[in-house]
Amino acid sequence: MTLSTHSCVVKGKHEVEVISQRVTYQGEGTLVKISRGVICGSDLHYYQHGKVGNYAIQMPMILGHEVIGTVEKTNISVLKLGQKVAINPSKACGECQYCLADDTNQCLAMRFFGSAMMCPDVDGGGTQYKIVDSAQCVPFESSLDDRIMVFAEPLAVCLHALNQAGGVADKRVFVSGVGPIGCLLVAAAKASGAKEIICSDISARALALAENLGASVTLLADDEMMFYRAQKGFFDVSFEASGHPSALTRCIDVTRAKGCIVQVGMGGDIPQFPMMTVIAKALRIVGTFRFTHEFTTAVEWLASGTINPLALFSGEYSYREVDEALQFAGDKQRASKVQLVF
């Protein structure tokens, strides 16, 4: 079965276009008709800079890893034709030491949608039709709002971060940086039983969204937070989601002795890292990267209404307007999560 498909392809800095391709399904995996996708921060980096971190685009690459769709063809009976599915963008090898230890997000041969970390680049889900491993498809009811269900991937990132912290039930939580991921961290922490959630950001607009999603108190980033620094810190768990080096230093100051800091945002090195403070307060600082089983949990939480992320929905564009959509998504004074409709 061969189909024509239109794909959103990035070629380099500010170079994106919709191209026509052919996709041939030969009975392996599942053919999904993509219905909707969300523009992520990494998509913006590829568009704005031609790279993410040190990983530059090596060849024209289909963007997108936050996508949902419907089953067109499949090789397993668990999935039904016409069924709506959220697509896990992670395809781990299943054979390396990390996969065998159930740490699939650390897979040595991970093929993640829309990523230049592998050579050649791995195409994403920003296309009308895509063949995926059937295990990557997580079904959900057709009556559910697609605008909500397409948030499964970023929510999974946040649920993994919460698990890295060891949970937040009945704990005081600080979220530094409340872009889309920070806001979803707020919602996930609230749903997980956090006692108090305090947020900091440079944007009043972002803080208003965080409050909408469950923040107890919001503070502008230039607030000294002296009350929270006293007596070796206040918070049991801090999530640093901005990626700014000074924000991690602040988390070290306001997290109580023997507390936990989870580094979520990707940022630069800290030249004068306050190591002695970390040692003296016996802090636990952990990184968090993508997710494992949390993707299925994220679909379940969205389906059940445990979390409603629609406050972050900033609008939608046809996939044919991908250039305009990326420009709007890059305007952080107006946009949080922008969706492409296929």
pLDDT digits (tens, 9 = 90+) for 51-80: 988 899 999 999 999 999 999 999 999 999
- Residue 15, in any domain of the structure: yes
- Residue 295, in any domain of the structure: no
- Residue 330, in any domain of the structure: yes
User: What is the rounded average pLDDT for all residues in the chain?
Assistant: 96
- Residue 294, in any domain of the structure: no
List residues bridging with 7 in a β-sheet.
Answer: 19, 127
Residues 66 and 310: their CA atoms lie apart, in Å, by: 15
- Residue 300, in any domain of the structure: no
Residues 144 and 201 occupy one common structural domain: no
**Structure letter (DSSP) for residue 123:** P
Residues 228 and 226: their CA atoms lie apart, in Å, by: 5
Question: Which CATH number characterizes residue 36's domain?
Answer: 3.90.180.10
Residue 268 has pLDDT above 80, yes or no: no
pLDDT (mean) for 126-148: 98
Residues 96 and 36 occupy one common structural domain: yes
Residues 136 and 193 occupy one common structural domain: no
pLDDT (mean) for 226-231: 96
Residues 146 and 166 occupy one common structural domain: no
pLDDT for 150: 98
pLDDT for 324: 98
Residue 119 has pLDDT above 90, yes or no: no
| Residue that the structure tokens 């990035």 belong to | 10
List residues bridging with 315 in a β-sheet.
Answer: 338
Residues 120 and 205 occupy one common structural domain: no
- Residue 31, in any domain of the structure: yes
pLDDT for 269: 82
**Structure letter (DSSP) for residue 122:** B
Range of the domain at 172: 158-287
Residues 15 and 129 occupy one common structural domain: yes
Whether cis (ω within 30° of 0) applies to the bond prior to 120 is: yes
User: At 267, is the pLDDT very low, low, confident or very high (cuts 50, 70, 90)?
Assistant: confident
77-95 confidence digits (pLDDT tens): 999 999 999 999 999 999 9
Residues 56 and 206: their CA atoms lie apart, in Å, by: 29
- Residue 301, in any domain of the structure: no
Question: Which CATH number characterizes residue 195's domain?
Answer: 3.40.50.720
Q: Token pair for residue 102?
A: 């159930």
Residues 164 and 76 occupy one common structural domain: no
Residues 146 and 178 occupy one common structural domain: no
pLDDT for 201: 97
Residues 166 and 283 occupy one common structural domain: yes
Residue 327 has pLDDT above 90, yes or no: yes
pLDDT for 12: 93
Tally of structural domains, the chain: 2
pLDDT for 96: 98
Residues 182 and 280 occupy one common structural domain: yes
Residues 201 and 139 occupy one common structural domain: no
- Residue 6, in any domain of the structure: yes
